[in-house]
Structure 1
Amino acid sequence: MHRHGFLRNLHAVYQPRTYFEIGINDGRSLTLSRVPTVAVDPAFKVVKELRCDLHMVRETSDDFFAREKPLEHLGEAKVDLAFIDGMHLFEYVLRDFINTEKYADWSSVVVFDDQLPRNVDEAARNRHTGAWTGDVYKMIPVLQRYRPDLRLAVMDTRPTGVMVVLGLDPTNTVLADNYDEIMDTFLLKDPQQIPPEIVERSCAMTPEALLSAPFWSALVAARDAGDPSYGREQLLAGIDHDLADLSRPQLSDWLPDPAAGRDCEVDQSASVGEQRMVAAIRQKAAAKASGTQSQNGAGSTAQHAATATKQAGATRPSRRVSQRPNDLFGKVAKRAPFLRRLPGAPRLVKKLR
């Protein structure tokens, strides 16, 4: 089954009331939504007909979440279904999940794309192939290691697999509290190290097995009725029972070899949104570790952002943020060198300058 076929069936089985997507591209996955929807992508090029109450935002997900009310279009509703398919670098996807879960509920479902790279080249952080997953597959061992309270189901979909995450907890801050530790452990230089279970897909199940599981009907009924007798604990028990005999990831003990060296590319440049998100994560983790509460309360958002960014600068190399079009092309071309060989590319860069 192709990933879009799986998503189509998931919409039908789960019947989400709201939808959130990171990574619009040409809009193929957005065509499946029929409910209030928010979608984010800094460079989308929608060519498909869309039939939903839609709010599209042309910016990075970090900048989007740095807004005061990023999901205002959904009103007071939580995100029922989220599809994360943005920048194919592990640190971006991790932050996308941390931020998305804040706006979710126990009954919400998050789907990650590109979780099963087929080879080391496809999983490289520095893209040099046509098909590219990047190192986002690391979400599987990281979630199993730091969030055993979640339920993960990796799907053997074409071309590069997806992962479904269930049993969300918007109050959980473990990933944010351990953000720097996770980066130090998993953010390594190319070539990437991939667990054999991922390349061989032995940790994945067939999409049909998950879609036909009995827990979906109980989940949807309790969610829509607001049944207080059925909640997160009942859902987790139902998932464990229904998926007991199916292949599921067992990668909580897997760690990459640190001898490969830390990837410093993450420190070369960043959007303002990314700087603020990382600074806020570190500030909250530091406050929790010291057992103190923030004295700023509900103070000025601008002042809080400035203070957080200044604090982040003390522990992280400074980053140059560029708004110039030719710099943007250069950064994109560095990730995808084949763009430089496109007809007219040199002339375009010269004109932008």
Structure 2
Amino acid sequence: MASHRSPRRTPLPVHGWPARVTVLSAAAASAAALAPGSAGARPADDPARPSAATVNSRIDRLYEQAEGATEKYNATAESAGKLREQVETVQDRVARGQAKVNRLRGELGGLAGEQYRSGGISPSVALLLTADPDSYLDKASALDRVSSRQSLQLRQLQAAQRELKRQRTEATGKLADLEQHTRTLRKQKRNVQRKLGAARRLLHELTPKQRAERERASREGGRGQQSGDTPDLGGDRASSGRAAAAVAAAKSAVGKPYVWGAAGPSSFDCSGLTQWAYGKAGTSIPRTSQGQRGAGKQVPLSQARPGDLVVYRDDASHVGMYVGNGQVVHAPHPGAPVRYDPVGMMPVSSVTRP
């Protein structure tokens, strides 16, 4: 009699899922690291020293590149998460399929044994059994003594075995895809870290006064207003109740740190903030800024209403939420917390109303 015990589902391999890495505040870290006269800082009058404008331009470009790389990382992480769920589903089906095969084998073996013991066979077969018991099944088959019930169970067992093989092949393929996504995540993570590290090193090229000026300009956003202040949002009304709820959630995150790859509730990157805000409003939108660009109706910037997603740059590598009165709430870059800024702070690619 075959064992009826169902197999355990094979656990997922441990891949060391890439941890989300908190990016330290670049401005704060550099200010602490380089006091006037610190080792490694070049004198302000060094003729080989690039101008503050040049350094700031390079830093901004690195942040832009890092943000694009972060959105690629987010997209890969989202795909890997879906693959992980699919692998678990397929492995569950494999476990159930193996249990079915075991059960059918047991039933078929039990039926054959019962038939043998009961003597429910013709005298001619009984004589054959007496002469050579070891060849019972072969001779019984040759004499067409396999019952219709046995035939049905044999077909069921064969079908179950074929399906189990297909499911195992599917699971193997998805596991291979998951391994590839994990390797891609590690590569993208290193790419982001390199660009952010280069930006931090460039910050060290600035004098303490220049760093303070950069930080002040970054926080003011060209409006003469600190990020901790709440701007006058005017009388603009959201396009829907859920949009209004998303705006309220985004505003509640003002002041929380930027962390690449983070989607709340204590830290955010740009698309993580908008996804989290709409999630708090009961609406699911894609994880990346590129995905969010296509997550609703496109409207002209002149018709933007609170709750609309403002996507920036041709590659859609940054996104913020319009909150009215020409303002967005967004997670800018490492070292800058979630804050209000003018909607035209950088080139607008599109405006989407989820």
Work out whether the TM-score is over 0.5: no
Shorter-chain TM-score tier: under 0.3
> Which structure has the bigger radius of gyration?
2
TM-score normalised over the length of structure 1? 0.19
- Richer in helix (by share): 2
TM-score normalised over the length of structure 2? 0.19
